[in-house]
Amino acid sequence: MSAVTELLRSESNGSISFGNHELAAKAKLEDYKHAGDTYKVKTYQAITKLEKNGLFLYESVPGTSVHDFHCDGDSISFEVEGAQDAQITLGVEQDAEYEVVVAGESAGAMKTNLSGKLNISVELEGAGAVAVKLIKK
């Protein structure tokens, strides 16, 4: 896998891929239509951020490249890669509990805060693409 050179793209399986952790300068793409929703992505080496219909959905520090991002009402799954370990914040349902699975291993159950944000750390340095999945309990 590698960076998403077009910043945001629709995949044949209905998911999206976004972000380019290799960019030295900020880049953004707005008003991208996918499955009836509108997306906006900002990305470069320091940060990657995704919004869906004007609402926060994903942010990583430092920047990451995300492949096969799929989000339904009860789960989120994707593969992420980057040059360094990343802190990822996801916008999900507020005051809910999610089982978090990183690289096939459970990281345990985590509860969102009142703003519906969930923070996870993912070890990426030298790891290639790492699978992440959140399942609402």
Bridge partners of 80, per DSSP, are: 66, 130
Torsions phi, psi of 94, nearest 5? -75, 150
Say whether pTM exceeds 0.85: yes
Residues 6+ away with beta carbon under 8 Å from 116: 91, 92, 93, 94, 95, 96
Q: Which domains does the chain have, with CATH numbers?
A: 8-136 (2.60.220)
Per-residue pLDDT of the chain (137 residues; tens, 9 = 90+): 678 889 999 999 999 999 999 999 999 999 999 999 999 999 999 999 999 999 999 999 999 999 999 998 799 999 999 999 999 999 999 999 999 999 999 999 999 988 999 999 999 988 889 999 999 99
Residue 25 DSSP SS3: coil
Tell me how far apart the alpha carbons of residues 3 and 73 are, in angstroms, rounded to a whole number.
Answer: 27
